[in-house]
Structure 1
Amino acid sequence: MVRFAMQALGTESPLQRPSKRSRSEPLLELPTSPPLPLLLQEEDHQLAATFDPDTLDCQICMEALHTPIFQCSNGHIACSSCCQKLGNICASCSKPTGRIRCLAIEKLIDSLHMSCRNAEFGCRKMLKFTKRKGHELFCPCTPFDCPVSDCPFSGAATSFPDHFSESHQIRTLNFQYDVWFTAVLNPTDLHLLLKADNMVFLLHYEKEDLGNLVFVTLFGAPQREEFFSYHLAVKYGQTRLTMESVPRSILRADKRSTNFIFIPRPLNIPEGLLQIEISFHHPGEDISGLQISP
């Protein structure tokens, strides 16, 4: 259990305002996952608090609540999209819903400012509750697990060039978007890190019995995949293999799927060196077009 309490941040002490209850009193107890700090804004000051963010999730879709928020006559709340999907029938008690706004929760959500979930990894942003999820999709402090087997390292994408070099002797190749470049893979290479601006990609070279697989993954959330595309070209003698695809997020359970170039054993270069021509396209990212809950 986490005890929900608030403390005034303004210069005026709560004891100087006898008309209001002391902010040092515990107000509510909530079952919780790890709490996050937040700010509650009032007209003349702010209040600091700890809060379980899951408390403000819609209990039907389990996404963060956002306006408009509706309640049935028994007080069960739901987001507007869930009300519509359920035909404006409350999922908890079968009472009609979708007509009574829950203005108290809407006002609470509008006043909340919360830390990013990546605060422990260095993000210092304080965000409106309705903007937090969008920020976290693009947060540069998002941690990723190292893709090398049995490596316990976890860190931001920008920390992987140093980690790969120091711990795994994996090279990093810098490139520019919309410019073809050549990556040379040695017989022992399984990965090659590719970096452009503040984005990091990983070239995979997996060896199977019938041949080798080459594909690219992205250090980023799955929602960012659509903002990038890449071309691969492998040439050996008179044979040329090409592929155009979208880099899958390294967070996906199936990173490879069917998006890879398969190089049959007879095409492998005798000395083991493999030259791959690569080009990345990145038209830019606009978070306003993403289909996410605020």
Structure 2
Amino acid sequence: MVKFRNQQSMVKFSVQPYSAVVPPSKRIRLEQTTETPSSPVAMISGDHSSHDRQFTATFDPDILDCNICMEPLSPPIFQCTNGHIACTECCVKMHGICPSCSKPVGKIRCLAIEKLIESLQMSCKHAEYGCTKVVSFTKKKNHEISCPFAPFMCPVASCGFSNLVSTFPLHFQEVHQVRTQEFSYGGWFTVMLAPSDMNVLLKADDMLFLLHYEKSTLGNIVYVTLFGATLQEDQYSYHLEVKNGKKRLSMEGVPRSILGEDSKHVTDFLMIPLRTYGLGDGRVQLELSFHHSGEPLPESC
């Protein structure tokens, strides 16, 4: 649902996929009505009168994308003399030449589209999972990246489960036989890794982290990923450590989001030679600590 508002009238846009619009056209089709909605779609300032009007529009949301990079438009928006629209970044990349007609672009503002976009209020695409946020069109993309209601795909290979973060402890326990261990930021805690372990789910407050335990010929590899957006990665850091008498192996890292490419091509990990740091029965005693922005750094264990 998209909302458009000003002081004189109320406009409601219903966004549908391009394939649902018949005939397929980039034009906005407006249907004017004088009906008063049972529940307002927007708050209107000023005096209300019987002349308030509501418009319903069905349109392809792609018309609000840059014609060059196909990303959502945001002011300032430019057009060439033939009316082809481009965002600021593309005007620079194309050296001020419209790729559609070779006319100059980057000096003429498209104020009509700018005003339309600045007035649009849109529901989050994760509304079906419980998000009730209605944000401006220009902020919609950033909100959806960090939306707490964004679903995640299970990172276990060949598992197609997708749902909210809060459902994963039960999913990992019932489907993958992976336990969940709770901890607090700023302090050290112990995780015992058995030979059969491949993952341990770590939970602090409302955040989930996944401890990976992979076997290799040189030693077992340990690292941590984050159930969160890539924008949240730098808010967290972790410290891994294994000891055997005076011998010690440790690493510090940033948990990469399971949504990002870095989680598929791991370069930061701790390799543990079992002959030196194993407990003799195949188990490994791992010490961990997590730091969250604003929390004090933990002392060495």
Residue 11 (structure 1) shift: 4.8
Match 1:276 to one of 282, 286, 291: 286
Deviations 1:101-160 (CA, angstroms, capped at 9, x unpaired): 111111111121222122233322222111111211211111111122322211111211
Q: Which residue of structure 2 lines up, in the alignment, with residue 207 of structure 1?
A: 215
Q: In 2 relative to 1, CA 73–6 (structure 1 residues): closer, same or farther, beyond 3 Å?
A: closer
Unmatched 5+ stretches in structure 1: 14-38, 285-294
Q: In 2 relative to 1, CA 263–50 (structure 1 residues): closer, same or farther, beyond 3 Å?
A: farther
- Please tell me whether residue 86 in structure 1 is matched to residue 86 in structure 2: no
Distance in 1 of aligned mates of 2:141 and 2:165: 19
Q: In 2 relative to 1, CA 250–8 (structure 1 residues): closer, same or farther, beyond 3 Å?
A: farther
* Identity fraction in percent: 56
Deviations 1:234-263 (CA, angstroms, capped at 9, x unpaired): 113432111111111111344152110011
Larger deviation, residues 77-86 vs 115-124: 115-124
How many residue pairs end up in the alignment?
A: 259
SS in structure 1 opposite 2:238? strand
- Please tell me whether residue 194 in structure 1 is matched to residue 202 in structure 2: yes
Q: In 2 relative to 1, CA 79–163 (structure 1 residues): closer, same or farther, beyond 3 Å?
A: same
Q: What code does the residue aligned with 1:278 have? A: L
- Please tell me whether residue 241 in structure 1 is matched to residue 249 in structure 2: yes
Q: What code does the residue aligned with 1:2 have? A: A
- Please tell me whether residue 154 in structure 1 is matched to residue 162 in structure 2: yes
Distance in 1 of aligned mates of 2:246 and 2:60: 61
Unmatched 5+ stretches in structure 2: 1-18, 22-27, 46-51, 295-301
State the superposition RMSD in angstroms. 2.5
CA contact under 8 A between 2:279 and 2:285: conserved in structure 1? Answer: no
CA contact under 8 A between 1:41 and 1:112: conserved in structure 2? Answer: no
Deviations 1:196-247 (CA, angstroms, capped at 9, x unpaired): 2221110100111221100000112222212221111111343211111111
Q: Which residue of structure 2 lines up, in the alignment, with residue 168 of structure 1?
A: 176
Match 2:125 to one of 117, 120, 134: 117
Q: Which residue of structure 1 lines up, in the alignment, with residue 271 of structure 2?
A: 262
Deviations 1:24-72 (CA, angstroms, capped at 9, x unpaired): xxxxxxxxxxxxxxx7998856655554433322232332110010000
Q: Which residue of structure 2 lines up, in the alignment, with residue 2 of structure 1?
A: 20
Distance in 1 of aligned mates of 2:54 and 2:285: 59
Q: Which residue of structure 2 lines up, in the alignment, with residue 12 of structure 1?
A: 36
Q: In 2 relative to 1, CA 10–218 (structure 1 residues): closer, same or farther, beyond 3 Å?
A: farther
CA contact under 8 A between 1:195 and 1:201: conserved in structure 2? Answer: yes
Match 2:111 to one of 100, 103, 107: 103
CA contact under 8 A between 2:78 and 2:85: conserved in structure 1? Answer: yes
Q: What is the TM-score of this pair, normalised by structure 2? A: 0.77
Q: What code does the residue aligned with 2:267 have? A: T
User: What does residue range 25-64 of structure 1 map to in structure 2 within 5 Å?
Assistant: 44=52, 47=55, 49-64=57-72
Distance in 2 of aligned mates of 1:151 and 1:41: 45
CA contact under 8 A between 1:80 and 1:98: conserved in structure 2? Answer: yes
User: What does residue range 108-147 of structure 1 map to in structure 2 within 5 Å?
Assistant: 108-147=116-155
